[in-house]
Amino acid sequence: MQTHDFVILTYGALKGKIYGKTALQKKVYFLGVMLGHDLGYGPHYYGPYSTQVADANSELKSLGYLSVIVNARETDSRGFEKARYDFQLTKDGYKLFERKKKEYSAEWPEFKKAAEVLQKAGDVHYMALTVAAKAYFILNMRGKASLEAIKKIAREFGWSPSNDELNQAVEFLKKMDLVQN
């Protein structure tokens, strides 16, 4: 399955909307993990990031399959506005989604099931998704690890999640059956 197909199916499975570029990256990441698709994720400041996913999303937007609303949410310490990019399937995007759902009819039931698991784990803030993705990325790289070991590895990537953030991330991952007690 091509990355842009995976991304359009993600939008369709998540009711056509994703709020924020970070949330997009993390939701696609978790679906890729659950479905066994390598979408080119590697370590990045906000956790696992895929240029392939970002490029596919940009392509879908430029072709008119996604609409984007830019929301300025706050100003940082230097006076720059931080913006959130909210993506939504357009009418043509829904048509493309329906075609891709038929094209991947054998994979669609598992895709839909994985999206439901992700949604049932909770509609968490993008930062919680980021920490969960970072923790899982580290666990996936190194096998089972303690919270302290995860924090040490995270520092190697320049990440600094708190114990509370890690605990919340682990609970989220447990709800998705990606980690065990």
pLDDT exceeds cutoff 90 at 58: yes
**Do 126 and 104 share a structural domain?**
no
- Taking residues 75-81, report their average pLDDT: 60
Show Cβ contacts of residue 80 under 8 Å, excluding neighbours closer than 6 positions: none
**Do 103 and 26 share a structural domain?**
yes
Please give the model's pTM, rounded to 2 decimal places.
0.84
**Do 82 and 10 share a structural domain?**
yes
CATH number for position 17: 1.10.10.10
> Residue 76 — very low, low, confident or very high, per pLDDT cuts 50/70/90?
low
Buried b (16+ CB within 10 A) or exposed e, 81-120: eeebbbbbbbeebbebbeebbeeeeebbeebeebbebbee
Domain boundary among 86, 110, 134: 110
Query: Is residue 5 a part of any domain in this protein?
Result: yes
**Do 133 and 104 share a structural domain?**
no
Query: Is residue 116 a part of any domain in this protein?
Result: no
Query: Is residue 29 a part of any domain in this protein?
Result: yes
The structural domain count of the chain equals 2
**Do 132 and 61 share a structural domain?**
no
Query: Is residue 115 a part of any domain in this protein?
Result: no
**Do 9 and 78 share a structural domain?**
yes
**Do 23 and 105 share a structural domain?**
yes
**Do 131 and 58 share a structural domain?**
no
> Residue 167 — very low, low, confident or very high, per pLDDT cuts 50/70/90?
confident
Domain boundary among 50, 77, 110: 110
**Do 146 and 78 share a structural domain?**
no
> In terms of Cα–Cα distance, which of 130, 113, 165, 79 is closest to 9?
113
Domain boundary among 110, 142, 169: 110
Range of the domain at 87: 1-110
pLDDT of residue 74: 65
